[in-house]
Structures are given as C-alpha cells and as structure tokens.
Amino acid sequence: MLILKHIPIRSFNENIAYINKDCSIYKVDNIKTLTRVEIHGGKKPVFAFLQVVENSKIIRPDELGLNSEAFEQIELSEGSKITLTLTPSAQSLQAVKRKIAGNILSSKDYCLIADDIANNRYSNMDIASFLVAMGSFVTPSEVLDLTQALRGDKNLDWGGEEIVCDYHCMDDIPANKVDLIITALVSAYGLPMPKLVLPSLNSTIGVLDAMKVLANVEVDARSLKKQVLERRGAVASLENIDICAADKIICGVERQNGLSTLERAVASMLANKLAAGITHLLVDIPVGIRSKIKTSQEAMRLRKLIEYVGDMLGLNVDVAITDGSEPIGSGIGAALEARDVMNVLKNKEEAPDDLREKSLFMAGRILEFDPKLRGGQGYLVAKELLKSGKAFDCFQMIVKTQGKKEPAQLGHLTRDIVADKSGSIVRINTALINRIAILAGAGQYAGAGIDIFRKSGESVTAGDILYRIYSCNQNDFAFVSSIIESGKTGFEIE
C-alpha cells in the first residue's frame, strides 16, 4: 500500500505517476524506460506512466504521486491507500502494429483502440504511432469505423429537435470567423445551432478565441441545452462537454505534432458532430495553394468521403467547396476578428464584404435544411435577418446568456506596413501574413494581431497602409518588427 499524493503538474494528456527511487514497496531501480502501471484503490483502475523521483521532498518512499490529469481520474482524496501493478502495453497496440504493417483494421479494432485511448492506456508516443500508421493508407470503410469508434456512446440530447444544425470548415483560413455570424443568422431564423469548438492551437486563432473576447465560452452541458432550446444558438468550448473522450486525447497529440491527416480530420469532425446531436451539417472545404486542401480534385475526394461516412451514419451532410486562397475578413487576432464579426452583425459600413458574403452564403445553405423553405431562398432570408438586425439581437442574447465580457483592448504597440511602391496587389501570402500575426502575439494575447486594410487586386500608391500590426508586449513587437524589416511583408505589388 502506498499513500496517494497529488502532484499539481499538468502534463498534457498523459497520466503520470511519480514514485520515489527508494519506494518502500516497489523496486524501481530496474526501471529503465517509461513503464505503464495501473493504480488500484479508486472506483476503477487508473493507468499512468511511471516517473522516478530522486529525493523525498516531492514524493516520499511510502507515497505515490499522481499528476493533475491522473489525480482527477482516480477520484480519491490525498492520503488514500492505493496499490500499483505493472501493466503490459494496451492490447489494442497489437492492432496499431498491424496497421503499421499495412493491414486494414476491423471495426472492432478501432473500437478497442478508441477505448484504450479514452482510458489513458496509450502514451502520447503510442498515439503518434497510430496517427502515422493511419497516414500511410486507410480505406473509406476504416474512416467509417474510426468515426463510430470515436463517437463512443455518450451523446448530447436536444429534447427531440428535428433539425439541429452546424457548420464546419475543414481548414483554418486566417480571419475567417464566419462561424459566429452563421450561428447568429441560423439562430435568428429559429433553427438550433449549438456550435461546439475545441480551443485552437497556440499557433492559430480559432473561433473560440474570437468568441472569448465577447463572451464566456465555458458552458456546461446542462446550461448549454437550456440555452440552445431557448436562444437557438451557442458558441462554446467542446472541452467541458463529456463526449468523444478518445478524440480529445488524439487531438491533443495532433496539435503538438501536426500529424493530422484528412481522413482522421473527417472521422474526428463527424464523430464530434454526431455525438453532439447534430442532425444537419454544412461542411466547408476551402481550396487554395496555402490551404490544407490544395486542388479541387483533393477537395472532391474529401467531399465524397465526408458524404459516404455521413450518409452511413445517418447525418444529413451538405458540402461546399470554397476559395481558401486569401484571408477572409480584415483582422487577424482574437479582438480584431471579434470586431469584424460585430461590424458585420451591426451592418456597419466598415464591415468586410467578403466576411459578410461568405457568412450569408453559408447560412443560406443551412437555412435550406428547413423543408419549409423554398429552394434558393436561403441566402435572401439570411440577408434579411442580417439587415433587419435580428441576427445581431439574437447574437447579443447568446452572448448575454453565456456571460458577456468587457471589450478587449487592442495592443498598445502598433506599426503600419506601407506599400513600398505604387501598383497593383497581385498576391497576399496568407501563410506569411498569418505567421506575422502570430509573431505579433495573436494566439497568446487577445489584443495582438494585424489589421489588413487592402485586398488582393486593389491598386495602391507607394506609402499607402497595407496593414497595421498590434502587439501587447515589447518582445513580440521587436521580433515581428525584425521580420518586417528583413523585407517580408506578405504583400506582392507589381
């Protein structure tokens, strides 16, 4: 018996058990590699990986420490008596090895893999292996099996609503915050749209980051249900919602190493939508040389795959292939993007046209899921909802219900990037522009980012402002300035 202690360290996805090198019960000096253990004493055994503590300040020889992730799972208080057993690798890793060897896995294999992952029996390494193995080849029916496995058996329930809508974009286009506007439009129409999103990576600004500037996004399942049934819409974090546990863990690994494949992205996306009780889904596939999907052929293959899996699982899916070559909207960075969204919803003159048009187009397609709407009317209905201010009112109600926030301050350090010659803007390097925004601090600070004043195709005169950089801290500002000074602005003028 060892005494349980909470070691308040977050290790990102992995359960870690800390054991003293002179542990009074288990002999650890032979441990030479990451060792899997099962910890008994709680309601169900918790899996963890051992790390050895070399003195007694953090863990005494009669104690076992658990990091925050594992401690939350064991549901015991500190001081509880626990025991330890060495466990072999997760059984389903055999299936991963078969996948590595090039085999097609069965539906049962995928279920076992998802179950082992959900129960923290995979190390991050194991998950990375699985992802790379999936990357070499995977059949459409395997994607279907994986989707079902990831979906799991926990579902959100919307009290018998016949149509529950969502919109999902398969790539991050900088500044593309149509999601918020679409949610406002669809909710204003009266169809429920519970938009649940995972927090974005450190290196991108996601839908949730923009929403966070305006409102609280941590909503529990019960409040979410009440809100969606009353207000018809929500933009909230998926992290607090207990569905698709295995998928959340896999996403954690993908975020870190960028190993995601389109097949995995499809399975993950559809599993989450299904478990979230979505019945009607519009999927946006942006195509562009700097997008994940570079050619229309790829986009078409992806569309077929989404349609196949969606159809097999009874989800009503509509797929739109769109232009992903340039940023949509003006601001990149949470506060600037939120500003763009609000400008569109308030029908302000400075609202970016492209952001408004894309939102109306997408919302229109979603509205047409409603059998009562005549084909082709969706866009016009959406436009009317925007013009009349109904979408704005609805969005305000959503924000109020989730918990309105004080407006975020833009970064106090600014720099204008101007055209170095007169001519026409022939291309905007989206990837570079995005990187400049990140270096300026977007993703870390809500108020950091860049505000783009000119679009591709426009004529400029030398000295015209192309975009403005906002930073919240001197380090970021100095760093991004040095990039700019090296001549990389992201705008090509000819």
State the nearest-atom distance from the C-beta of 307 to a copy of itself, in Å. 26
Shortest distance in whole angstroms from residue 108 CB to a copy of itself: 22
Q: How far is the CB of 155 from a copy of itself (least distance, A)?
A: 25
Comparing CB distances to a copy of itself, the nearer of 156 and 446 is 446
**Spatial distance between the Cα atoms of 379 and 361, rounded to a whole number of angstroms:** 6
Type of residue numbered 18: Y
- Of 17 and 351, which has the nearer Cβ to a copy of itself? 17
Query: Positive or negative CA dihedral for 331, 332, 337, 341?
Result: positive
Say which amino acid occupies 466: L
**Residue 279 CB contacts under 8 Å (≥ 6 apart), including other chains:** 161, 162, 163, 164, 165, 315, 316
Measured in Å, how far apart are the chain's first and last C-alpha atoms?
74
Residue with smaller CB distance to a copy of itself, 364 or 443: 443
Cβ proximity to a copy of itself, 257 vs 295, nearer residue:
257
* 136 contacts: CB under 8 Å, gap ≥ 6: 102
DSSP lists the bridge partners of residue 285 as 321
The minimum distance between CB 131 and a copy of itself, in angstroms, equals 8
CB of 489 to a copy of itself, least distance (A): 21
CB closer to a copy of itself, 122 vs 392: 122
Interface with a copy of itself (CB under 8 A):
7-12, 18, 27, 30-35, 51-55, 57-58, 68, 89, 93, 97, 100-102, 123-129, 131-133, 135-136, 199, 201-202, 252-253, 255-259, 443-445
CB of 63 to a copy of itself, least distance (A): 14
Q: Is 56 helix (H, G, I), strand (E, B) or coil?
A: coil
Q: Are strands 193-197 and 233-237 parallel, antiparallel or unpaired?
A: parallel
Q: How far is the CB of 204 from a copy of itself (least distance, A)?
A: 11
Choose between 59 and 193: whose C-beta lies nearer to a copy of itself: 59
Which CB atom, from 20 or from 227, has the smaller least distance to a copy of itself? Answer: 20
How far does CA 366 lie from the centroid of its chain?
Answer: 21
In a 13 Å sphere around the CA of 18, the CA atoms on its Cβ side amount to 23
Query: Which residues are CB-neighbours of 49 under 8 A, at least 6 positions away?
Result: 14, 15, 16, 17, 34, 35, 36, 37, 123
